[in-house]
Chains A and B, each alone.
Chain A
Amino acid sequence: MSKLTFPRMGESWRTFKMLLEDLGNDVVVPPRPSKRTLDLGVRYSPEFACLPLKILMGTYLETVEMGADTIVTSGGVGPCRAGEYAMLHHKLLKDLGHDIKMIVFEPPRLQPLNFIKNVRALNKNRTSIRGIIAHIKRAWRKLQALDNAEKLSHIVRPREITRGTTSKMYRRVLGWIDQAYTTEQIIETETAALQALRGVPQDLDREVLKVGIVGEIYVLLEPASNLEIEETLGNLGVEVERSMFLTGWTRDNTWTETTEMMSVKEAAAPYLPELVGGHGRDSIGNTILCAKRGFDGMIQIAPFTCIPEIVARTILPRVSRDYNIPVLTFFLDEQTGKTGMSTRLEAFTDLMRRKKRLQRGQFTLTG
């Protein structure tokens, strides 16, 4: 029987594993990207390819070692490079002598036949269409549960009394959600998980800064690729609101119930009316929305040479000036020194805190 694997993006692998196993596949879970993953990826990928391509290349090579022979991944129609990843990965793996099968999901709206064909190929159990839909619904619910737990961890972490308790608890509740199988179980464990996270001892009077994170989806969702920026910020006493979650992604595109009654697209329109691929326009739109909601600052993270984010980054200084919100950008590459990023984050946090106190009129000389 063929062994399946898929790209790893944060904790979402728990859902995809469940879904693929439900359909009767043998799944190889991609390991968390490590130094070795990156080394492998960098060795065999083009030099100026973006970080996600390199990490995925490394992950694929590792899963191939573990016995995987089929890769399920997504395609795309541009203009972002991610749409061509599958093609290049396939060629590179073949060049290295691995005979791998690729199942590439193109946008179903444009290529419905490709979607049906792929689902049929994955449906080893010959589940009925209704069964497949039920499986997908359940998987979706699990994804939501995982996202909700992560969102709450971002709120709790800056307020925790003993550093590290939230991360520890978060890791534990992930295990609970992972174990849940039926929809009822998923909802039950989600409630328990959220309660457990809220139960972490917190100092509610602490002055907490609120920062939005925007940028390219892969480096946003995979903590191993962004050097755990959210955890670092949480430890600095900063509440993080990430603009992108796998489940929120679809909702964001039709998001009109924000307090400003404005979608991300509309917000970005005066600055960047064109879809430049990836999430360039979302980065700008979300920065504006967050500024309107009174955030203290924004952080943009993107892989080095990411085209859409370079466009966004060129425009962001103007947005930052117009809306009076500080923006810090990180371009991530295969260099894994965490200290450089921590130092910059600390400085940024200090500046934001100073700005906030100045606005409130409580200015302290020592800062």
Chain B
Amino acid sequence: MDLNKKLGIPSVLLYYIYFPFWLAFFNEIGVQVVTSSNTTKSIMDKGVREALADACVPIKLFFGHVMDLKNKCDCLFIPRVVCLNGKTIYCPKFLGLPDMIRHSLDGIPPIIDVRIDARQGRLSKIKAYLEIGSYFGAGRNIVLKAYCKAWIALRRYNRLLRKGLNPLDAMEIIKNPKNKKLILPAKSNLKFAVLGYPYAIYDSFISVNLLGKLKKMGVSVLTAENINPLTLAWQKNCGLPKRLFWTFSDAALKAAHYLFRQGRVDAVLHLTAFGCGPDSLLNKFIELEAKQHKEIPFMTLMIDEHTGEAGMATRLEAFVDMVKRRKEVVSTCRN
């Protein structure tokens, strides 16, 4: 494989966490990267048609994005991400992702499915990227340099996230650094925590524009990505005998634990996808946590492939109104 080929990265799942890293890495070794377009109805429909009916929405969406990409690129980048922090792993569907795509879709370009498992030694991540580099004939030194640059890009991206930006805005700023209008979200009276997986929350199509709706209603939003990872790590096992072993679920539970205890948000929303395996447990754990903190309202929102906005909007409006009212009542009582 040579450098003139276009590499396709579907803009779903890990895209929201690692795309700046991958983009910097591939740009440095000189590979042209194309991403799939933003989720649309037609992408969703393609995904629903191709993927197994019992799979969760994000996986169906992944299938849709791959279908969208398959004619635009010469090879697909679907790494088998097993573990990145040495402690927690990813959902089994992530682990089997390249195989699911390869064996159930026809006419797709070759897939680069390097296995990344940080539990296999300190250098395992670098080795994985050396392997990726070798697909494109990039030399060792170039890959190492690209890897360092990618790390710097990722750190910058994460720093922007901590400031309260959402991933899409942060990526935009990284893309056009000159356009340095750091529009931080306006401070508002109400502050909600939205917990859930980044690929569900930030995809405005499948989340039925949850973040946009909240913003319109004058609610500022905090997500697990906006919280410092050290703060999250400090939560340890959240009072459970062992941690949840899926990375995103672990982060969401820790964020819930932290936010409920700290009590600086007005409400907590948990966004979950229909049929999501880890979420079935995570949601119950968060719910039990919420039960102990009656002063912070909690609501679960479930998304699936249907796109009717009205139901979601009604529930959100009702919830926001109740939280607002409650806050007013509490403050007048105090006075």
Contact = CB atoms under 8 A, between A and B. Distances in A.
A314 B245 contact: no
A317 to B, nearest CB: 7
A315 B277 contact: no
Given A271-B103, A277-B92, A313 B54 contact: yes
B245 to A, nearest CB: 4
B15 interface: no
A24 interface: no
Interface stretch (A81-89, A175-183, A188-196, A242-250): A81-89
A311 interface: yes
Interface in A70-107: 75, 77-81, 83-84, 87-88, 90-92, 95, 104
B80 interface: yes
A95 B291 CA distance: 10
Contacts of B95: 79, 274-277, 311
Interface class of chain B by DSSP: mixed
Contacts of B93: 276, 307, 310-311
Contact of B277 (A90, A92, A275, A307): A307
B331 to A, nearest CB: 32
B134 to A, nearest CB: 19
Nearest to B80: A274
Contact of B288 (A48, A78, A80, A91): A91
A79 B92 contact: yes
A46 interface: yes
Interface in A103-120: 104
B92 A104 contact: no
Interface in B260-286: 274-281, 283-285
B182 interface: no
Interface string B100-128: 10011000000000010000000000000
A8 to B, nearest CB: 21
Interface stretch (B143-151, B236-244, B306-314): B236-244
Given A79-B90, A91-B285, A304 B54 contact: yes
A273 interface: yes
Interface string B29-69: 00000000000000000000001101100000000000000
A306 B278 CA distance: 10
Interface residues of B, number: 37
Contacts of B283: 46
Contact of A305 (B51, B99, B280): B280
Given A314-B104, A315-B104, A48 B90 contact: no
Given A49-B280, A81-B281, A314 B91 contact: no
Nearest to B50: A314
Interface in B237-257: 240-242, 244-246
Contacts of A58: none
B212 interface: no
B281 A331 contact: no
A304 B280 CA distance: 12
Most buried by A among B275, B279, B283, B284: B284
B280 A311 contact: no
A271 B98 CA distance: 10
Interface string A267-296: 000011111111010000000000000000
B103 A318 contact: yes
Given A79-B89, A80-B92, A307-B277, A331 B54 contact: yes
Given A49-B280, A78-B89, 12 more contacts: A46-B280, A48-B274, A79-B90, A80-B92, A87-B241, A90-B241, A92-B284, A92-B288, A271-B103, A275-B95, A305-B280, A307-B278
Task: For the complex of A and B, list the 4 residue pairs with the smallest distance between their C-beta atoms, beginning with the closest.
Answer: A311-B96, A78-B245, A48-B280, A307-B277
